[in-house]
Amino acid sequence: MAPMALSASAAILPFKRISSGSKLFNSSSKTFGVGPNFSSLKTCRGSGLGIVGLSSTGSNNGGFVDLSESETPPQTYAWQDNKRPRVCILGGGFGGLYTALRLESLVWPDHKRPQVLLIDQSERFVFKPMLYELLSKEVDAWEIAPRFSDLLANTTVQFFKDRVKLLHPSDHLGMKGQVASSCGGTVLLESGLLIEYDWLVLALGAESKLDVVPGAAEFALPFSTLEDACKVDQKLNALERCKFGKDSMIRVVVVGCGYTGVELAATVSERLGNRGMVQAINVNTTICPTASSGNREAALKVLSSRKVQLFLGYFVRCIRRVGDFEASVKPTESGGVQDVAAEHDSEKYTLELQPAFKGLESQILEADLVLWTVGSKPLLPPLEPCNKLHELPLNARGQAETDETLRVKGHTRIFAVGDSAALRDSNGMLLPATAQVAFQQADFAGWNLWAAINDRPLLPFRFQNLGEMMSLGRNDAAISPNFIEGLTLEGPIGHSARKIAYLMRLPTDEHRLKVGVSWLAKSAIDSVALLQSTLTKVVSGS
């Protein structure tokens, strides 16, 4: 999943008035590390910046209103040392976590070593390029989704499981003749905790975009997060149980034939084997249009061998459920309660396909499971600040525009990486939202934070394309390294090379060691099982 978008981490809400009775998030937060100071409510040091909140009453100040006496004020997080720089990182994907680890690895003067706080809505970091291996049962969840608390146990980085409710940057103060602020701004979390920061890193990731086709949000499953992968696996398990011993096949439709769609189609088709049929839809007339020719040809070969039907040159007009299934639980004949999930497992869906090019006819497909891999939206909504200087410059996709040093334009104390950043290459093209880009940006973001804090020149980011890797099932992959033109490693060799490359990219040495030992043990068990199977066939044949 080389070009796959990053996981959704946290959401910054628009700067606009929201009804005080509305509930923005339902989940409760859990914190790790330094606890908050509940004794007082503070403002940025020396900035004169008041605390702002959300309300449906009171005078309007561009969507902001001052907290009234009747409202509960937010509680301010107490940093250990207010004399040392305070770095707040929003989002714990490749961009956020690896930026934090990079900051930890650098050599700092004692009085300038920053305090780093990492915030993510999940308690686990997810190595997204290997989510497919959860479906093929090659890896366990802990191997590709370790807890942040475990990864950061031997570091000074603090982790909070929470969501972002409001962002109020103040690094614009001091520009255009205004009074300078001694802090970069504040972040208000869903839990009510207010965090002052000196430096901010936006690494919020993206989420699947399901609202472009009627029925997609209701009936299709995305494949972007650990939760998505678990839902798909559970659905496949339920369908396999439901169809066991029956003549009817499991029909799976994958919408989109980019990297994610092709890898997902290859993995699911291999898992189902003769028990299922996988159909893949793409608006382009070719799969993976941005992939190297070697990877594309290897993927086509695998899809063809597994009898995956490709509908190229089509887009989905709508998705509908077949029949009228009630959502309420129903009593069984024995007086028990029927499982709602089991009822939904028997549901079928129809997809209406419309040609994107002349010469093609409309199609209607029927599916037991629809997997959606088309489109994503960054978790940086449009902002309506209390004055123009607060604005983060966003592009049409909702990403923050940055300069070549990864600083958000107009904000000297805010950096953006991964899906949150809109950075262009030397040809003026936006860099792709891939794990490889985010990984490299994290390295530069960490260095440039060091440079900014120590009053050194910042380095311009230059992306180095190291090549492409695709998972095509158990013991099957395709790799096209960029440093050897025309070379493509396929099959078991490509699969082994891909796993080794990703093992080296895991976040910490401790986790790499644990996962490496686990994979070696599994490989040894698989080898013994294969040897026993071969010997059994030889003996029975003789």
Of 420, 444, 474, the residue that ends a domain is 474
Q: What is the pLDDT averaged over residues 415-422?
A: 93
Alpha-carbon separation of residue 247 from 58, 243, 274 (angstroms): 66, 8, 11
pLDDT of residue 334: 40
pLDDT band at 141 (very low <50, low <70, confident <90, very high): very high
> Has residue 69 been placed in a domain?
no
Dist CA 65 CA 108 (whole Å): 40
Report whether 273 contacts 266 (CB < 8 A).
Answer: no
* Global pTM value: 0.81
Report whether 95 contacts 203 (CB < 8 A).
Answer: yes
Q: Residues 372-405: pLDDT tens digits?
A: 999 888 776 434 355 555 678 888 888 899 999 9
pLDDT of residue 346: 66
Strand partners, 206: 378
DSSP 11: -
Q: Residues 485-503: pLDDT tens digits?
A: 889 999 999 999 999 999 9
* Among candidate residues 376, 407, 418, the one with its CA nearest the CA of residue 94: 418
Rounded to 10 degrees, the C-alpha dihedral 160/88/229/280 comes to: 160
Report whether 262 contacts 284 (CB < 8 A).
Answer: no
Alpha-carbon separation of residue 93 from 127, 169, 500 (angstroms): 8, 22, 20
Dist CA 495 CA 479 (whole Å): 8
CATH number at residue 218: 3.50.50.100
Residue 45 has pLDDT above 70, yes or no: no
pLDDT of residue 64: 33
Dist CA 406 CA 437 (whole Å): 12
| CA Rg value for the chain | 25
pLDDT band at 182 (very low <50, low <70, confident <90, very high): low
User: Is residue 401 domain-shared with residue 354, that is, in the same domain?
Assistant: no
Q: Residues 317-342: pLDDT tens digits?
A: 999 999 743 443 344 444 443 443 44
Tokens of 337: 């309660």
pLDDT of residue 56: 31
pLDDT of residue 442: 97
| Residue, of 421 and 178, whose pLDDT is higher | 421
> Has residue 93 been placed in a domain?
yes
Break the chain down into helix, strand, coil percent, rounded to 5.
Answer: 30, 25, 45
pLDDT of residue 19: 33
Q: Residues 201-252: pLDDT tens digits?
A: 999 998 888 988 999 999 999 999 999 999 999 999 999 998 887 888 999 9
pLDDT band at 343 (very low <50, low <70, confident <90, very high): very low
> Has residue 505 been placed in a domain?
no
Query: In one letter, which amino acid is 423?
Result: L
Tell me the percentage of the chain whose pLDDT exceeds 70.
78
* Among candidate residues 51, 44, 55, 52, the one with its CA nearest the CA of residue 21: 55
> Has residue 446 been placed in a domain?
yes
pLDDT of residue 180: 43
Residue 425 has pLDDT above 70, yes or no: yes
Dist CA 151 CA 90 (whole Å): 17
Q: What is the pLDDT averaged over residues 86-109?
A: 96
Report whether 472 contacts 132 (CB < 8 A).
Answer: no
Tokens of 455: 């009053």
Range name among 2-11, 110-119, 265-274, 407-416 with the lowest pLDDT average: 2-11
> Has residue 251 been placed in a domain?
yes
The neighbour count for residue 471, using CB atoms within 10 Å, is: 29
User: Is residue 156 domain-shared with residue 221, that is, in the same domain?
Assistant: no
Residue 354 has pLDDT above 90, yes or no: yes
Residue 44 has pLDDT above 80, yes or no: no
Q: How many CA atoms lie within 13 A of 141 on its CB side?
A: 9
Residue 125 has pLDDT above 90, yes or no: yes
Q: What is the pLDDT averaged over residues 403-421?
A: 93
Residue 51 has pLDDT above 90, yes or no: no
User: Is residue 193 domain-shared with residue 291, that is, in the same domain?
Assistant: no
Residue 41 has pLDDT above 60, yes or no: no
Q: How many domains does the chain have?
A: 2
Domain, as residue range, for 105: 86-207+377-454
User: Is residue 178 domain-shared with residue 222, that is, in the same domain?
Assistant: no
Mean pLDDT score of the chain: 81
User: Is residue 180 domain-shared with residue 244, that is, in the same domain?
Assistant: no
User: Is residue 137 domain-shared with residue 282, that is, in the same domain?
Assistant: no
CATH number at residue 390: 3.50.50.60
pLDDT of residue 74: 79
User: Is residue 109 domain-shared with residue 194, that is, in the same domain?
Assistant: yes
Dist CA 229 CA 129 (whole Å): 12
Residue 299's Cα: distance from chain center in Å? 24
User: Is residue 131 domain-shared with residue 182, that is, in the same domain?
Assistant: yes
Of 423, 442, 474, the residue that ends a domain is 474
pLDDT of residue 204: 92
| Residue, of 349 and 530, whose pLDDT is higher | 349
